[in-house]
Amino acid sequence: MTAHRSMRQSNTRRNLLMTLFFGAVTGCGFEFEQKLSFPFSSLYIQTNHQQIKEKLGAYFSKYPSLKVYTHSQDLPLADVVLDVVSLKQSKDITSKSITGRVLEYTLRLKCAFRVVDKNGIEKIPEMELQLEEAFSYDIPLALAKEYEEQKLQDKIFQDLIDKIVLRLLYV
């Protein structure tokens, strides 16, 4: 009888801990990834910028029901066209020490895009998104800072992709 009671208490304790864990995780704003539902079944990505084309392609590969085209001969097959008009990355010095040594940079990513349907009707007029991140720099930690800079660039790109996708949901 004590073994049965001990097992029941163990299950109750485990269930309580799981409830507290998931309550804490969802309470802090975390959401499990949800599959998005796009109002179109095919998309053509029109851009001269290979990096954003690859990142968008990788993002949309999670949605097998959405056909993504990147070759110009496939343009007539797409319901909508995501036209990335411009993409510009920059790294600007934002602060220096008294001796002139760079202390901080600002990494910027600026992207202009628009969305048209297969009939040429503009669904999203040309708009520009600009994202930026401050980045401190220290010469003795140069290698680590280069890695950190690359990670920040990746984060900015992912934020850009998320913002573009959010707008595509309301085409």
- The model carries a pTM of 0.72
pLDDT band of residue 2 (cuts 50, 70, 90) is low
Q: Write the pLDDT tens digit of every residue in 57-105.
A: 999 999 989 999 999 999 999 999 999 999 999 989 898 889 888 888 8
Mean pLDDT estimate for the chain:
83
Q: Write the pLDDT tens digit of every residue in 155-167.
A: 999 999 999 999 9
Contact of 152 with 135, CB cutoff 8 Å:
yes
Residues sharing a CB contact under 8 Å with residue 132, sequence separation 6 or more, in sequence order? 106, 107, 108, 109, 156
Residues sharing a CB contact under 8 Å with residue 82, sequence separation 6 or more, in sequence order? 43, 44, 45, 46, 56, 113, 115, 164, 168
Q: Are strands 122-136 and 102-117 parallel, antiparallel or unpaired?
A: antiparallel
Domain ranges of the chain: 1-32, 41-168
Give the CATH fold of the 41-168 domain. Answer: Double Stranded RNA Binding Domain (3.30.160)
Spacing of C-alpha 83 from chain mean position: 18
Q: Write the pLDDT tens digit of every residue in 117-134.
A: 999 999 999 999 999 998
Contact of 147 with 113, CB cutoff 8 Å:
no
Q: Are strands 42-46 and 102-117 parallel, antiparallel or unpaired?
A: unpaired
